[in-house]
Amino acid sequence: MKPAATSIERVLTTLGHREPDRVPLFLLLSLHGARELGLPIREYFRSPRHVVEGQARLQARYGHDCYNAFFYAAIEMEAWGGETRFFEDGPPNAGEPIVSRAGQIAGLSPPRVAECARLRQVLEAVAGLREKAAGEVPVIGVVVSPYSLPVMQLGFERYLDWQIETPEAIERLWRINQEFCVEWANAQLQAGATAICYFDPLASPTITPPEVYRATGWRIAQRTLARIAGPTATHLASGRSLAIANLLAQTGTAAIGVSALEDLAEVKRAFAGRVGVIGNLNGIEMARWTPAEAETAVRDAIARAAPGGGFILADNHGEIPWQVSGDTLMAISEAARKWGEYPLPGRDGT
Amino acid sequence: MREDNSIVSTPEAFLEALLDTDRLRARQVLEWASRPAGPEGALDSLMMPALERIGERWESGELALSQVYMSGRICEELIETLMPLRAGNGAAAEARVAIGVLEDRHALGKRIVLSVLRAGGIPVRDYGAGLSVGELVERTRADGIRVLLVSTLMLRSALRIKLLVAELGAAGLAVKVVVGGAPFVCDRRLAEKVGADAVGYSAHQAVEIVRRLLGDGR
């Protein structure tokens, strides 16, 4: 019997648009590490050792195909002088925006990774996970795109208003953000990340019209990804992607995290042979799924997108909510093995 | 002032001006329609149909959230200019409708719904964002609110609405709770789970829902 591929072989094969031994599964769990260690979420993220141990235990328990070095999105804002609000049962959020007047942007400069203790902790976690992975499991680093970061820097309304009212200031902010994003991504790669998830929800046509994205976020993505010294996957965080599939395929990204709001088969066709598809289990519905519902969802996603490779089974948002139970995660993991072995079973299960 | 006979005063023309973020054009179209219909009539015949169409097209994935937001914002500015009394209705003493964001800080969805309600002529109080369950209950009681619209972004805060509904009930308040936000769009069974009286999947639905819950069948 042929030995099972390692996770990294499985992922690389599918991203080469070929069929590996089975469909790779990314359970993108960050908060769940705290539960695994019996720690409050805030306490858990105080130490990179917690994150390494949490991720190792989660991967051992569910057998999925990655380590997720992501802490929480607002950690980048801490580098910019922002604050984070913690909750006992959900992801930490960014506090008040750091910019309230467009004139402040002229005085901003990108924070240096080496000078931010919190970012250095993430790098320690990446390095620790790289050691655990022993070359067999990909370690995923995460950056927020220069185009999406202003939502936390300015607040959503201001960001949308200023793109029209003070476009020069926003252009400048994007350039500053790009410098930070490139340094932050490359620091994670240097610390041992296998690939970088370029988290860009604003790129999605759910948020931004495609013609606006083409003139703004798309150009930023092309410039930024070209300077990141390793493979990247772009995540739209539940947002739609079909209307910009051709643009996304030209950014140099290797894979796209796609939405539960679009038909997965159609999405796969749009990206087939060009960009891998990551998704699209509904992370919100997942919180109430029975094991049988989880299996049905997994089986359906695999049937729609896995033929021919180019597909990684995951949730649609890039982070599985705290409210999703261990039983459901286990049901997803088991179903992925049951229905995801290549050659794939037919519709009748044979 | 010279009259511009090229202005077409149809909901489609107004909608196009909104989607182009063309404030001047939107104002011209609305003012032109106000001549025979009056400002109130123009709002009913142009602004509300345009906002409804935009909401429907967002829900189907055809339009982006930024377009919905900018359209609502332009409409609010037009109301403030042309009908300052209606624009100020957020502070009106008779407002029995309120809107707030439970715990989350992201207020974009709330802002869009607020714009639509004001365009629809519904007096509404804006309670802001980052509110606790206790704050919402207290303000609902103090203001005699009959319809409370609650916006959330994260699943954890969406689930907290169940506690809010229970606390409002325990306080003996006869208030209807309307929910909206990303978690409810992603899970169409969530609103029922948290005990909401109604759910809006797009901002444009707010006017019809609020009128129905107030018993105003206009």
Report the CATH number at residue A265: 3.20.20.210
Q: What percent of chain B has pLDDT over 70?
A: 91
Taking CA atoms, what residue in A is nearest to B158? A284
Q: Which residues of chain B have pLDDT under 70?
A: 1-7, 85-93, 216-218
Report the number of distinct structural domains present in chain A. 1
Dihedrals φ, ψ of A105, to 5°? -60, -35
Mean predicted confidence (pLDDT) in A233-258: 98
Give dist(CA B213, CA A292) in Å, integer. 37
**A60 pLDDT higher than 50:** yes
Rg (C-alpha) for chain B, rounded Å, is 18
Is residue A123 situated within a structural domain?
Answer: yes
Domain holding A15, by residue range, is: 7-339
CA distances from A23 to A26, A305, A313 (A): 10, 10, 7
Does the beta-carbon distance from A157 to B107 stay under 8 Å? yes
Does ipTM surpass 0.90 in this model? yes
Residues A121-148: what's their mean pLDDT?
Answer: 98
A208–B66 C-beta distance less than 8 A: yes
Asked if residue A1 belongs to a domain, the reply is no
Paired sense of beta strands A139-144 and A67-68, if any:
parallel
Alpha-carbon gap, residue B200 to B125, rounded angstroms: 18
Whether A284 contacts B190, CB under 8 Å: yes
Residue A220 within a domain:
yes
What is the model's pLDDT at position A328?
98
Using the beta-carbon criterion (under 8 Å), do A206 and B66 form an inter-chain contact?
A: no
- DSSP letters along A298-320, please? HHHHHHHH-TTS-EEEEESSSS-
Residue A347's pLDDT band (cuts 50, 70, 90)? low
Cβ contact A156–B108 (<8 Å): yes
A238 inside 8 A of chain B by CB? yes
Residue A288 has pLDDT above 50, yes or no: yes
A39 belongs to a structural domain: yes
Residue A188 token pair: 């994670």
Is A349 inside any structural domain?
Answer: no
Quick: pLDDT tens for A289-329. Answer: 999 999 999 999 999 999 999 999 999 999 999 999 999 99
* A29 falls within a domain: yes
The partner residue sitting opposite A284, judged by closest CB among B66, B67, B186, is B186
Answer yes or no: is A347 within a domain.
no
pLDDT at B22: 94
Selecting from B70, B107, B186 the residue whose C-beta is nearest the C-beta of A160 gives B70
| Contact assessment for residue A311 and residue A269, using Cβ atoms and an 8 Å cutoff | no
Contact call for B187 and A288, based on CB within 8 A:
yes
Query: Within its chain, how far is the Cα of B66 from the centroid?
Result: 15
pLDDT of B44 reads: 85
Name the token pair of B16: 């196009």
Q: Considering the domain boundaries, does residue A345 fall inside one?
A: no
What average pLDDT does this structure show over A56-85? 98
State the DSSP code for A4. P
CA torsion sign for A190, A193, A195, A197 is negative
Q: Which domains does chain B have, with CATH numbers?
A: 11-82 (1.10.1240.10), 90-213 (3.40.50.280)
Averaged confidence pLDDT in chain A: 97
Rounded CA gap, B10 and B7, in Å? 9
